[in-house]
Amino acid sequence: MPAPWSLDDIPWKDFEPAKVDPDLLRIAKAASLVERNANDYAIYLCNIFDDNPEFQKIVHQWAREEEQHGEALRRWVEMADANFDFEKSFRRFTEGFRIPIDADRSVRGSRTGELIARCVVEVGTSSYYSALADTSEEPVLEKICRNIASDEFRHYKLFYTYMQHYYPKDRPSIFARLRIALGRILESEDDELAYAYFCANDEAEPYVRKESSSEYMRRAYRCYKPQHLERAIAMTMKASRLPLNDRLLRGLAWMAHRFLRWRARSAPA
């Protein structure tokens, strides 16, 4: 099945260099590397679901779409910064960051757990790109981020459908589901994004995870509005099969927004 959009659908001629936000440029560089590296996750997922050819086919299509996200961001970044050397940054990133592609069992303990974690990742990316689109005044980046956000939302629905299929077989406990969801959210501050930020922005060695992570967070977290977080929390709770009502949702979104603002402010400038 072809992807719902291609690079030719992006209105590149509308690019307005004067409207490029330098902070968004730096985090878009990091995102281009992470997205472009999706094939390693596809190999990992195909190993975990080795007896499900239908799902494997979907995973390959998913990886192609994720790689296209990387290509679209790369092209925009190259227009905004002629000195950006994608290939050099990507090589540096993939040499220093590896996921366990040889694993034959999910690092989340079960296939349902793996799919809950995948849902959480797609929730994170769909809300992240919505927040970037809402923040960018440069129209081409805004369009790219809107397209990516809608793909990520569709990916969420895809992994959610398969999670429902595997759930009756695995039945992870409520604590296991909570641990997987929370664990995956906390991992978003781990090495992958911080290291991508470091490699993409040609930072000088040595790599200090805490510093690169702060640099990244300071720029990314300021883009979030409460509505992005409300939607992300509702989707995460649904994927984890955790109970939620309107009051709890509003309370959690309020706390998450305060937390991100605090993280953005407390990161060293």
Which residues contact Fe ion (rule: CB under 5 A)?
Answer: 35, 66, 69, 122, 152, 155
**Closest by alpha carbon to 33, among 90, 91, 98, 88?**
90
The least distance separating Fe ion from the CB of residue 90, rounded to whole angstroms, comes to 15
Question: Min. distance of Cβ 67 from Fe ion in angstroms?
Answer: 9
Q: How far is the CB of 148 from Fe ion (least distance, A)?
A: 6
Q: Please identify, using beta-carbon distances, which residue of 66 and 142 lies nearer to Fe ion.
A: 66
Nearest residue (CB) to Fe ion, 69 versus 257 = 69
Q: How far is the CB of 269 from Fe ion (least distance, A)?
A: 29
Could you give the dihedral angle defined by the CA atoms of residues 151, 152, 156 and 162, in that order, rounded to the nearest 10 degrees?
60
Closer by beta carbon to Fe ion, 74 or else 155: 155
CA distances from 121 to 12, 180, 264 (A): 28, 11, 20
Residue in this structure with the two tokens 């985090």, named with its chain if needed:
27
Task: Name the residue nearer to Fe ion (CB basis): 129 or 221.
Answer: 129
Compare residues 10 and 267 and give the one whose CB is closer to Fe ion. 10
What residues contact residue 68 under an 8 Å CB cut-off, 6+ apart?
A: 3, 6, 7
- Smallest separation (angstroms) from Fe ion to the CB of 211: 25
Terminal C-alpha separation, the chain: 45
Question: Which residue's CB is nearer to Fe ion, number 21 or number 152?
Answer: 152
Question: Among residues 221, 33, 22, which one has the least CA distance to residue 128?
Answer: 221
Q: Tokens 């291609």 appear where?
A: 6
Q: In whole angstroms, what is the distance from residue 56 CA to residue 62 CA?
A: 10
Q: How far is the CB of 66 from Fe ion (least distance, A)?
A: 4
